[in-house]
A and B are shown apart, each in its own frame.
Chain A
Amino acid sequence: MTHKFFTRLCLVPLIAVIAAFFVLPMLRVIVVGGSGDMGLHAYAAIILEPRFRATLINTLVLASVTTALSLAIATIAGLFLQRHRFPGRALLVAMLTFPLAFPGVVVGFMIILLAGRQGLIGALSLPLAGEKWVFAYSMQGLLLGYLYFSIPRVILTIMAAIEKLDPSLEEAARALGAGPWAVHRDVILPALMPAFIASGAIAFATAMGAFGTAFTLATNINVLPMLIYTEFTLSANIAMAAALSVGLGLVAWAALALARAFSGGTVAAAG
């Protein structure tokens, strides 16, 4: 048996599994998306139909805001954690990355515990502000949930990038007379740009496709995954659900393809 034959043999099971349970089904979705009552117009309807367009814009805005906030929060915390060594630092890092493997539904439940009817925020705001703040099921609550699963992902990438920064870059800038502000603006943040793009795209793609969190919290808010779900299960509008899925998949894939072009590393969306 030649080596070439052996490696070919090694690939056969993978190709079979992926073809059967991913490639063929995805092709089927694309076909089904274009074969409903509207035909191929189903794809155009994602943008043309006001209800779908509003949902799409809603989701894009939510995902963008989540991304921007996660990046800002993770950069501040990440720079702090990589710059200073103090007792309890490892615990703090562990706490910040702990929710990484939480399913979206659990994230939703965390927000309910924070901002739901029996939530901590309400319990604290009642004596302080005189009213009970309950916003778990509003747009703010959903954003909080999206931040909850985005921050750990982004912080991991950014901390890794900060760790890899060549300290002599900063030292060189300081030797040339740059103050702390100029060092950050001119040296550190530009050097972190690839990490921003990579982790930002991950956060964006994950937020676009997040179903579990929306399922728990977005009972009254239209986001794309919920729309697909209701079209499929409640309206039985299978073709439209398929078309919307293809659109959603394309947006998420484009964001990640962009990220990979810049970072080359493993980028994954989940949750």
Chain B
Amino acid sequence: MTNLRNRLIFSGQFVFTLLVAAFLIVPALLSMLAGVTVNYFTGIRSGLTLQWVIQVWELYADTIARSFVIALAALAVTLVVGVPAAYALHVRGGRFARIVEEIITLPLAVPGLAIALALLLTYGGFSDFRRSWLFILAGHVVFTMPFMVRSVMAVFSAIDVKTLDEGAASLGASPWRRFRDVIVPNAKPGILAGSLMVVTLSLGEFNLTWMLHTPLTKTLPVGLADSYASMRLEVASAYTLVFFVMIIPLLVAMQIYADSCGRKTARR
């Protein structure tokens, strides 16, 4: 009796979970399929083709390249600025550090649209800056910085980096040597996780970028929005397919990495 009921509950939940997964995954598969179908309306019978992908490449190659440049530049800035700051915030502690942490985390709460508006109102008058991709970079740095800082800080509190720092100091290492020899090498898991986050988020950032871009500084997601509005479904799908191809390896890397970290801590 209870056995039957348990089986029913199990099956019900299983079907429900499958349906949710289907809701999330089916459209993504559809778009990948549509991107390589000759005519989506007729369906797969019309045959498979790479013509849409090629067309996307011809039309939008510059947006793809620009997205990568911005993502890597955002990564470079968040690394150089964020990692030392995460260290300082962690070891200093106290009210000042908490306030700084609070402020740099605000961009997670404030919608990108508002940040973009703020940047436009403040720097819109500096037309050289406004017109260059660096303007978009500034927005991406603000948006991704908390992910880098917090992911590195999480590692610092997990490995008790303060004591490692004191240990190195007791052996005679100067603050800079400690940072180079002990802090950074041991922060690697957090730096790597933060880097994956920064690149992934930057590549997919739309809310800020749509407001900040100019016709000459379009990024991939901006181009996507363009194509959804003005291109035939197959081209839009092919473009989305290109985006998936770029972003999925990053997502998989993040997943694998999170799993291996989880196992490592579980083993200890």
Q: Which residues of A contact B (CB under 8 A)?
A: 1-3, 5-11, 13-15, 17-18, 21-26, 28-29, 32, 73, 76-77, 79-81, 84, 92, 94-106, 108-114, 118, 120, 147-148, 151-152, 205, 208-212, 215-216, 225, 228-229, 232, 238, 241-242, 245-246, 248-249, 252-253, 255-257, 266-271
Contacts and interface: CB of A to CB of B under 8 A. Distances in A.
Interface of B: 10, 13-14, 16-18, 20-21, 23-28, 30-31, 34, 40-41, 77, 80-82, 84-85, 87-89, 91-92, 100, 103-104, 106-115, 117-119, 121-123, 138-139, 141-143, 145-147, 149-150, 154, 169, 174-176, 179, 200-201, 204-207, 210-211, 221, 224-225, 228, 233, 236-237, 240, 243, 247, 250-251, 255
A163 B12 CA distance: 21
A80 B201 contact: no
Contacts of A246: 114
A110 to B, nearest CB: 4
Nearest to A78: B17
Contact of B142 (A22, A103, A152): A22
Nearest to B17: A77
A112 to B, nearest CB: 7
B206 A14 contact: no
Given A11-B88, A118-B41, A228-B113, 10 more contacts: A7-B88, A17-B142, A26-B118, A77-B17, A101-B247, A103-B221, A106-B204, A118-B40, A151-B24, A209-B113
**Chain A contact surface mostly:** helix
A71 to B, nearest CB: 13
A32 B176 CA distance: 43
Contacts of B111: 208-211, 225, 245, 248-249, 252, 269
Contacts of B138: 21
Given A17-B77, A73-B20, A151-B24, A6 B175 contact: yes
A10 B107 contact: no
Given A98-B25, A104-B207, A270-B201, A249 B109 contact: yes
Contacts of A28: 118, 121-122
Contacts of B139: 21
A226 to B, nearest CB: 9
A7 to B, nearest CB: 4
A3 B77 contact: no
A23 B251 contact: no
**Leading 7 A-B pairs by shortest Cβ distance:** A209-B111, A25-B118, A6-B175, A10-B84, A14-B85, A110-B27, A245-B114
B16 A29 contact: no
A18 B175 contact: no
B224 A103 contact: yes
A255 B251 CA distance: 27
A106 to B, nearest CB: 6
Contacts of A248: 111, 113-114
Given A212-B207, A225-B113, A76 B84 contact: no
Nearest to A211: B207
B146 A268 contact: yes
Contacts of B175: 1-3, 5-7
B85 A10 contact: yes
Given A25-B118, A32-B121, A92-B18, A209 B112 contact: yes
Given A29-B121, A98-B251, A100-B251, A8 B25 contact: no
Contacts of A73: 20
A271 B108 CA distance: 10
B215 to A, nearest CB: 14
B140 to A, nearest CB: 10
Contacts of B147: 268
Given A21-B142, A76-B13, A242-B121, A112 B228 contact: yes
